[in-house]
Amino acid sequence: MTMQIQTIFSKESGNADNYRIPSIVKTKSGMLVACADERFFTCRDNPNRIDKVVRRSKDNGLTWDDQITVVREVGESMTDASAAIDPCMLYDEDTDTIFMIYSHTPAGIGILNCKKGTGQDEDGNLYLYEGKKRYTLKDGKVYDSDGKLDDDYSVTAEGDVFFKGEPAGNYRLNSGILKELRTSHLYITSSCDDGATWSTPVNISYQVKEKYMSFFGAGPGVGISVKEGKYKGRIIFPAYYNVVEKGGILMLSACVIYSDDKGRTWRRGKSPNQTRKHGIFPVGHRLVMPADMITETQLIECPGGLLKMFMRNHSPKRLISVAISDDGGASWHNYKHHPQLPHCICQCCVIKGEDNGREVTIFLNAADTKARRNGVIRLSYDYGETFEYSKLIKDGEFVYSSMVWLGDGKIGVMYEEDTQHEKINYTVVTLDEIKSEK
């Protein structure tokens, strides 16, 4: 069977020339909801104008509705625009809700120059700065450091600032007389109608980010809702963070954030870097050597509520690493590199499905140690301990991807076509097709 390939995000159906970072989920009504970064001025990461867009399908991807903009950022040039980068969605069947997290950054800010801090007070109100003078934005009103209302300022929901009734720029942009902290802010939005409409995004950095952290972002792809065991009902997103703000230095560690009240409040778990060791020496997460960095991750649930994390990492071994959590993502152990999963320091994706009554783990990535190429999909019947079958589904360039279980032995696959990042494709792969090749 020849795979039928559709382009679902591109300039033909959207508002920009470049699209990246696929994420896809399926609701219990059967709706597929696919999300991507819509990148306006370049295919590069931030600094850039990056919006969040979705498309929906009622027929497992045969046809797709028109594109919807979920998060609209602002700015008219690459260096003076805000970004909503790297989506990660999860569908919670208990509440019939799709959640999405992403990292928002103001103009001129990317992973290499984020300031440390949350940019919020302990109640989640946004700090705004005029030089070194700090204000607090609460319900559209601006308060000074003494908590006194400053009637000279007003701010719209879109970030436009007014001073004594006159336009004074936008706090997300370089033009704003008031500016938000020049860092990455973790936001969450949700949909209760199969992705047709979405809630106003909420900044949850103050709940999950420490003051010593600079960058904090989603491990793009999908999160999970725990189905069994002590932590049943917990919703979990993969994430990662940096602890350096100067000199373009990265010291990155992965973690998860989780909620036990269906998204109202969030906590951050420990990083695998906090529990792994080199011999007798702990790795740690406040001073991370380049080869010890772990970044974009994806998760599955194993029997009894155990979690397994699959990690992009910077080890010269060029193998995906894995770790186990027995406390719902609060901590991780048994860190190791998987001998069957080569990678080129690139994102991977992993989900679960069913094959004749047996749970099957499905893994996909750019399975090359040198370049982002050769998309290989693999099957495991022991929750990723070993992979029995594999199939090359895309020869040549292959970058980020996301999968969704469609049922009836079928897997929906979204992937970045190439490193030009002009389109994101969708195809369906069957278990039988994968098992036809050892």
pLDDT tens-digit readout, 194-247: 999 999 999 999 999 999 999 999 999 999 999 999 999 999 999 999 999 988
**272-284 per-position pLDDT tens digit:** 999 999 888 889 9
Round to whole Å and give the CA distance between 397 and 419: 7
Counting residues of the chain whose pLDDT is more than 70, the rounded percentage is 99
Report DSSP letters for 270-287, one per residue.
Answer: PPGGGT-EETTEE--SSS
Query: How far from the centroid of its chain's Cα atoms is residue 263's Cα?
Result: 16
Is residue 365 very low, low, confident or very high in pLDDT (cuts 50, 70, 90)? Answer: very high
Round to whole Å and give the CA distance between 220 and 241: 13
Please check the confidence at residue 378 and state whether its pLDDT lies above 90: yes
Specify the CATH number of the domain 6-119+182-435: 2.120.10.10
**128-163 per-position pLDDT tens digit:** 999 999 999 999 999 999 999 999 999 999 999 999
**233-275 per-position pLDDT tens digit:** 999 999 999 999 988 899 999 999 999 999 999 999 999 999 9
Round to whole Å and give the CA distance between 338 and 386: 9
Q: What is the pLDDT of residue 437?
A: 77
How does the average pLDDT of the chain come out, rounded?
97
In CATH terms, the fold of domain 123-180 is Intramolecular trans-sialidase; domain 3 (2.40.220)
Mean pLDDT calculated for residue range 408-413: 98
Q: What is the pLDDT of residue 276?
A: 95
**321-348 per-position pLDDT tens digit:** 999 999 999 999 999 999 999 999 999 9
Report DSSP letters for 220-266, one per residue.
Answer: SEE-EE--SSTTTT-EEEEEEEE---STT---EEEEEEEESSTTSS-
> Tokens 């917990």 belong to which residue?
234
Mean pLDDT calculated for residue range 356-372: 98
Please check the confidence at residue 49 and state whether its pLDDT lies above 90: yes
- Give the pair of three-digit tokens for residue 178: 């008031």
Domain positions in the chain are 6-119+182-435, 123-180
Q: What is the pLDDT of residue 292?
A: 98
Please check the confidence at residue 2 and state whether its pLDDT lies above 80: no
**299 residue type, one letter:** L
Q: What is the pLDDT of residue 3?
A: 78
Please check the confidence at residue 438 and state whether its pLDDT lies above 70: no
Is-contact 301 294, C-beta < 8 A? no
Report DSSP letters for 143-201, one per residue.
Answer: E-TTS-B-TTEEE-TT-EEEETTEEEEETTSTT-SSEE-SS-EEEEEEESSTTSS-PPP
Please check the confidence at residue 1 and state whether its pLDDT lies above 60: no
| Topology match between the domains 6-119+182-435 and 123-180 | no
Q: What is the pLDDT of residue 280?
A: 86
| Whether the bond into 47 is cis, omega within 30 of 0 | yes
- Give the pair of three-digit tokens for residue 403: 């999968």
Residues contacting residue 260 through CB under 8 Å, at least 6 positions apart? 231, 233, 234
- Give the pair of three-digit tokens for residue 67: 């594109």
